[in-house]
Amino acid sequence: MNDFRASIAAAASGMQSQAARLRHVSENIANADTPGYRRKAVGFEEVMQGGRATGLVGTGPVALDPGQLPQVFDPSHPMANELGYYDGSNVDLVVEIADAREAQRSYEANLKLFDQTRQMSRSLLELLRR
């Protein structure tokens, strides 16, 4: 039963990590037109416990995209400098939509693993009852 528990824990940690990634992608999309907004990216790392690998995955620290912000020309904008430019957002909607689809598919794969493990454990318990 420990193997089943480990499989379910691994799938659950994967789903939690992909959900966190999807939250950041949603934040990026929502702020695509916010002046001065830098794209947020989250990485994944293996969860360690007592210096040993657990087989689980977690989210790493949130990193801001260090790329240069585009300069937008709009002299009437309240944040415009004396030349009429202000810092735009470095969010690329095509990249964000691709990241959202990837996170969704990874979440679904972990959900499928979770469901298959649950079905296997149910089948095992039915066999043991006989």
In this structure, of 7-11, 48-52, 63-67, 121-125, the range with the lowest mean pLDDT score is: 48-52
Looking at residue 90, its pLDDT comes to 94
β-bridge partners, 52: 49
pLDDT band at 74 (very low <50, low <70, confident <90, very high): very high
User: What count of residues does the chain have?
Assistant: 130
Quote the domain boundaries for residue 93: 2-129
Look up the pTM and report it.
0.82
Strand ranges (E), the chain: 40-49, 52-64, 71-73, 85-87
pLDDT in tens, 23-60: 999 999 999 999 999 999 999 999 888 878 788 999 99
Greater model confidence, 54 or 109: 109
Looking at residue 1, its pLDDT comes to 52
Domain tally, the chain:
1
Looking at residue 52, its pLDDT comes to 82
Of the chain, the percentage scoring pLDDT greater than 70 comes to 99
